[in-house]
Chain A
Amino acid sequence: MSSLQDIEEVAADWLLLRDEPEWSQDHEARLQAWLDQSDAHKAAYWRLECSWRAADRIRALGPAPTMAGPWRRTILTKWQPYAIAASVAAAVLGIPATVHFISTAPTAVSGYRTPLGGHEQVALSDGSTVDLNTATIIRAAVSKRQRDVWLDTGEAFFSVQHTGVPFVVHAGSHLVTVLGTKFSVTRDGDKVRVAVIEGRVRVSNADTHEPSPTATITRGAILEAQGSSTLVVQDAETRVQRSLAWRDGMLEFDFTPLGEAALEFNRYNEHKITVTGKARSMPIGGSFKPSNVHAFAELLHDAYGLQVEETPTETKISD
């Protein structure tokens, strides 16, 4: 039997080769054959793969977060000194730094995140601001030539400075392109909602497998998209305003079914509200602090006579 060291090194080599551009069907078949040879091979390969892929999630998030709260760290900016050093060297040697070279120098990517119940405003270097709602992760790469923001999850309100350079929000496969305007984007997996408060935005789907038309929406409109299907609601100004009440630290409901309102609360708190029975469809209205589940539940009990049962982890509401 070959020793662990050997097996582990072969497993590491396979794992690394897999990320290389020359990886082929033939490689895949050979890896499979190697794995099938022995459970020792599988154990070693799976063990390495498991942690190596976990580290991929750091990339998915962009730069490394600190331990808690809003984070900002720019691992990628580390590489800027190289680019600068190279262009200085080029200048000294009298070689003009080419446009191509500049375009390959990576723009610094900054990551920001808010915890459950968090709310944070971020100022970007172009003068635009982004409000992050609860449990939201974004990455931003803003330079003089391009402005890109990736909404990895959650909800963000953008107030974009007009600079003549398109500002692109990547929400999964959906691209929201604007010049200067105010709008919010909410992303939950592949479900994306765009609400416009001022100006106009263009929403397109970058997923080449599913060509879908580009939609342009203006003030007071809401666009909801999932995969290649898109729904636009015009003249929904009050709904747009209401959906942005979180920026003032409030949740606003107007004839909202209680079941939906509960889900909205649950986006902000570990302590969850569950609604059962007919109470789910009961329409409610009003403004509430998202953190004050207790007051909300009390109101439901006093004003609507609903049954409220509170446990340390959840509040159960029924009729």
Chain B
Amino acid sequence: MADEGALQNWFCSEVLPLERALMAFVRRNWREQNDVADIRQEIYERVLIGARAGLPHHASGYLFTVARNHLANRARRAKIVSFDMMADLEVEVRGCAFQPEPALVARDELRLAMRGMDQLPHRCREVVQLRKFEGLSTREVSDRMGISVDTVEKQLRLGVRALADFMHGGSGKIERQSRNSLRLKRGRP
């Protein structure tokens, strides 16, 4: 039974660095691209539940096994499964599982954080920098920049999520469309 600290540590250092490969895998194997982020989250949830019983030795093999099972279950539920797809899943898992990306060394991580910072939209970057480098509170950032507390909060929230996306191998561009519009697009409940 892994304690929560060890679990978190393992998740951050072993699983999250695989996010780029995971996202590519899900994208290739799931038609509805709007579901991809949700699927990632569901996979992570299952990864944590499983790993709590004992941390897996090979994060990569484990992650992609969970991912494949989850996609298969989801496909079954959605009744869109085809034999082609299952065959693809098998191949992909074999291809991915044995090419773990090397864990980021601290310096790479720092560079990545900096690049992530650079690609934030202008105002968002300013807000995040004031928070990060000068340790200003939301209130103080709002006073300093002459913008509302509400705007600062919005920008910070965007910054947190965009930085996570970028650092874990995504584009760092966060869709700002609301959940409702996403639902409408999907045309499913």
Interface residues on chain B, size class: 35 or more
Question: Which residues, 140 to 194 on A, are CB-close (under 8 Å) to B?
Answer: none
- In the complex, whether B92 has a CB less than 8 A from a CB of chain A is no
- In the complex, whether B123 has a CB less than 8 A from a CB of chain A is no
Q: Is the CB of B160 within 8 A of A15?
A: yes
Q: Is the CB of A76 within 8 A of B133?
A: yes
Q: Is the CB of A54 within 8 A of B8?
A: no
Q: Is the CB of A16 within 8 A of B153?
A: yes
Interface string of B8-43 (1 = CB under 8 A from A): 100110001000000000000000000001101110
Interface residues on chain A, size class: 35 or more
Q: Is the CB of B12 within 8 A of A46?
A: yes
Chain B, Cβ-Cβ closest to A39: B48
Chain B, Cβ-Cβ closest to A15: B160
B49 contact from A8, A39, A44, A54, Cβ within 8 A: A39
The verdict on A43 contacting B168 (CB below 8 Å), with A51-B116, A54-B110 known, is no
Residues of B within 8 A of A (CB): 8, 11-12, 16, 37-38, 40-42, 44-49, 52, 106, 109-114, 116-117, 128-129, 131-135, 137-138, 144, 153, 156-157, 160-161, 163-164, 166-168, 179, 182
Interface string of A1-42 (1 = CB under 8 A from B): 001111111001101100111000000000000000011101
Q: Is the CB of A39 within 8 A of B114?
A: no
- In the complex, whether A304 has a CB less than 8 A from a CB of chain B is no
Q: Which of A56-64, A202-210, A262-270 contacts B (4 or more CB under 8 A)?
A: A56-64
Q: Is the CB of A64 within 8 A of B114?
A: yes
Chain A, Cβ-Cβ closest to B114: A64
Q: Which residues of A contact B157 (CB under 8 A)?
A: 9, 12-13, 16
In the assembled complex, the Cα of A312 lies from the Cα of B18 at a distance in Å of 29
Q: Is the CB of B161 within 8 A of A12?
A: yes
Known: A16-B160, A47-B16. 9 other contacts (CB 8 A): A8-B41, A8-B161, A43-B48, A47-B44, A48-B164, A50-B16, A57-B109, A58-B117, A58-B133
Shortest CB–CB separation between residue B58 and chain A, in angstroms? 19
Q: Is the CB of B164 within 8 A of A52?
A: yes
Q: Is the CB of A38 within 8 A of B45?
A: yes
Q: Is the CB of B133 within 8 A of A59?
A: yes
Q: Is the CB of A51 within 8 A of B110?
A: no
Chain A, Cβ-Cβ closest to B177: A5
Q: Is the CB of A54 within 8 A of B113?
A: yes
In the assembled complex, the Cα of A65 lies from the Cα of B167 at a distance in Å of 17
Chain A, Cβ-Cβ closest to B46: A39
B37 contact from A4, A42, A52, A54, Cβ within 8 A: A4
Q: Which residues of B contact A54 (CB under 8 A)?
A: 109-110, 112-113, 167
In the assembled complex, the Cα of A45 lies from the Cα of B135 at a distance in Å of 21
In the assembled complex, the Cα of A47 lies from the Cα of B112 at a distance in Å of 15
Question: Which residues, 58 to 109 on A, are CB-close (under 8 Å) to B?
Answer: 58-59, 61, 64-65, 67, 75-76, 78-79, 82, 106
In the assembled complex, the Cα of A47 lies from the Cα of B128 at a distance in Å of 18
In the assembled complex, the Cα of A185 lies from the Cα of B72 at a distance in Å of 59
B111 contact from A6, A12, A67, Cβ within 8 A: A67
Q: Is the CB of B38 within 8 A of A42?
A: no
- In the complex, whether A303 has a CB less than 8 A from a CB of chain B is no
In the assembled complex, the Cα of A21 lies from the Cα of B44 at a distance in Å of 31
Q: Which residues of A contact B47 (CB under 8 A)?
A: 43
In the assembled complex, the Cα of A20 lies from the Cα of B142 at a distance in Å of 13
A46 contact from B8, B37, B46, Cβ within 8 A: B8
Q: Is the CB of B113 within 8 A of A4?
A: no
Q: Which residues of B contact A78 (CB under 8 A)?
A: 129
Chain B, Cβ-Cβ closest to A61: B110
- In the complex, whether A123 has a CB less than 8 A from a CB of chain B is no
Chain B, Cβ-Cβ closest to A106: B134
B117 contact from A4, A42, A61, A64, Cβ within 8 A: A64
Shortest CB–CB separation between residue B87 and chain A, in angstroms? 28
In the assembled complex, the Cα of A43 lies from the Cα of B15 at a distance in Å of 11
